[in-house]
Structure 1
Amino acid sequence: MFGNYLIGLREGLEASLVVCILVAYLVKTDRRDALRPVWLGIGIACALSLSFGALLEFGTQELTFEAQELIGGSLSIVSVGLVTWMVFWMKRTARHLKAELHGRLDTALAMGTGALVATAFLAVGREGLETALFVWASVRASGEGSSAPLIGVLLGIATAVVLGWLFYRGALRIDLARFFRWTGAMLVVVAAGVLAYGVHDLQEARFLGGLGNKAFDVSEAVPPDSWYGTLLKGVLNFQPDPTVLQVVVWVLYVVPVLVLFFAGRNRPAAPPLRPSDSPAG
């Protein structure tokens, strides 16, 4: 559940900050007339993301087991690739996010209503589609037959909305570079578990061989139905009996990605966005 909460918090806060920056800029520049098309673009992006999530969840149910596993494993790997790209992109962009969005919005204001809708849609829609795909893959990897993963995602998004509102009202200082650095590192670990489970799905579909070649089996020491087994599964997508290929893929992903991610951690941190940057400042 924690892994899904982290996904909802991380992606939700990205979207919330984007919305806050767009709205605050329009209010401060006395362009409230442009708020309606911006909110329209945000609404379309949210609707598309929910529709995409529903398609992923219900669109494969009539397929054969092998086809479901093949699609699930492939999309899990795709989602890990997208999330990895997003983590590194946000690490580079966090300190310049506000200026970049302001520039896009100035261009859209000059072009008209359609451009405003498109700017808001693209700014929020990317996070929404990434979230839908990665949440779907993470829920599959968690293997929980309950609503806990979905509850975790919704709690994360709700937290992100509250933080975004506090930021907008000028009641919160956010060091974006530091926040996205540490949540990004945790998300890499979550993504590694999703990647390993995607390989597991492909092995179940007999696309990458079978599941017979186990690296180890600690099911007796860490029973999957125990509280600590459930905790490890929910946080790290831990599997007590992975195959050799799953372990190799996990290590080959998480070690170099974390090394590259923290390679520039000693550079000066970006100044936090100040409450005075918000409309209430």
Structure 2
Amino acid sequence: MEQALLIVWRESVEALLVIGILYAWLRHQPEHTRAMRHLWAGVGLGLLLAGLLGTLMVLAGGWINGPAGEWFQTALSLLAAGLILQMLHWMAHNAWQLRRQLEQRAASALQGRRLGSLTLLVTLAVAREGSETAIFLYGIGGTANPVPLALGAGLGLLLGLLCVALLQAGGRLIGWRQFFLASEVWLVLLGGALLMSAVDRASGQWMAWELPEHLYRLLGEPVWDSSALLDDGSRPGALLAGLSGYRAMPSAVHLGLLGLYWLLAWFLIRPARPPRLSPLP
């Protein structure tokens, strides 16, 4: 549930930002009523496309059983971890100029009276965030109980709405820079958790193969055992494992891949940023 909450919270904030920026800009334009209809049409189409993708993934997961199903789940977890890296890279280079880019594209659509372009802009933005959310949720959910997953997703959406309202109000408790920096840390940890979930599933399949002895040791032999301090089977340990990829008895493969993931995430975020984020409405 906690993973679903954080993922939907972060993704909903990004989608709501796009909608909020365009809405705030359009309502100050002359004859904005028609443009607003295209804005909400784009939101609806984007949600429809994201829902379609989620439905197709659920159906595909139901059709694929046995080892093929495990590999399908592994692939989606790896895809979700990769999408988090792509998202971090994009936000590191574009978050500060998001408002300007959206307003320029909207202005171009209005000036050329191509309101269909405005609909397409919003559709793609919402579908992108919604599709990523669907992949993330399926990557962490798999065959798990859907009730906690749905509860976490609902709470994440409510939290996203509250967060955007507070950020738009310009409160002193949290600013845009602080929000993006904190969410980057959470996303890196969640990406590592998704990667470790994929490694666990893949290792379970590889162990059934006839592999050289040293590969079995790399996949299954723990480098250390911290179960006495925090067992990842306990409630606190499972929570930490779900949010960061913690393993009480990690193998060399776990440690190596998690370290490489964090290093790659740091490299993608590290490029120079502008000193200040552009103010948002």
Is this a same-fold pair by TM over 0.5? yes
Partner residue in 2 for 1:215:
222
Contact kept, 8 Å, 2:224 with 2:250, in 1: the verdict is yes
Distance 1:59 1:164 in 2: 34
Tell me, yes or no, if structure 1 residue 58 matches structure 2 residue 59.
yes
Q: Cα distance 1:262–1:178, how it changes in 2: closer, same or farther (>3 A)?
A: farther
Deviation at 1:111, TM superposition (A): 4.3
Q: CA deviation at 1:136?
A: 1.7
- Equivalent residue for 2:140? 138
Higher mean alpha-carbon deviation, 1-10 vs 68-77, is at 1-10
TM-score, normalised with respect to structure 2: 0.83
CA drift at 1:251 = 1.0
Please report the TM-score for the alignment, with normalisation by the length of structure 1: 0.83
Q: Which whole-Å CA distance do the structure 1 matches of 2:144 and 2:238 have between them? A: 9
Q: Which residue of structure 2 aligns with residue 120 of structure 1?
A: 122
Q: Which runs of 5+ in 2 are unaligned?
A: none
Q: Which residue of 2 aligns with 1:88?
A: 89
Per-residue deviation, residues 54-110 of structure 1 (Å, max 9, x unmatched): 322332123222111111111221221121111121122121111100111122222
**Aligned residue pair count:** 270
Q: How many Å separate the matches in 2 of 1:149 and 1:233?
A: 16
1:37 is matched with 38
What is residue 269 of structure 1 aligned with on the other side? 276
The question of whether the paired residues in 2 share the 8 Å contact of 1:108 and 1:115 is answered with yes
2:49 maps to amino acid: L
State the alpha-carbon separation in 1 of the partners of residues 237 and 65 from structure 2.
30
Are 1:47 and 2:41 an aligned pair? no
- Equivalents in 2 of 1:219, 1:181: separation in Å? 30
Alignment of 1:1-281 (within 5 A): 1-30=1-30, 31-109=32-110, 110-140=112-142, 145=145, 147-165=147-165, 170=169, 172=171, 175-206=175-206, 213-216=220-223, 218=225, 220-221=227-228, 222-258=230-266, 260-262=268-270, 264=272, 268-273=275-280, 277=281
**How many angstroms apart in 2 are the aligned matches of 1:102 and 1:230?**
43
Return closer, same or farther for 1:263/1:207 CA change in 2, 3 Å cut-off: farther
CA shift, 1:244, in A, is 2.5
The alpha carbon displacement at 1:163 in A equals 3.2
The alpha-carbon deviation at position 16 of structure 1 amounts to 0.5
Q: Cα RMSD (Å) of the superposition?
A: 2.8
- Structure 1 distance, partners of 2:146, 2:124, is 33
Partner deviation per Cα, 1:22-50 (whole Å, 9 max, x = no partner): 11111011312111121111111112212
Give the conservation status (yes or no) of the 8 Å contact 1:196–1:250.
Answer: yes
In 1, distance between residues paired with 2:245 and 2:148? 14
Q: What CA distance in whole angstroms lies between the structure 2 residues aligned with 1:54 and 1:172?
A: 38
The 1:223/1:178 distance shift into structure 2, 3 A limit, reads closer
Q: Secondary structure at the match of 2:61?
A: coil
Identity %: 28
Q: Distance in 1 between the 2:184 and 2:227 partners?
A: 33
- 1:259 to 1:119, Cα distance in 2 relative to 1, 3 A: closer
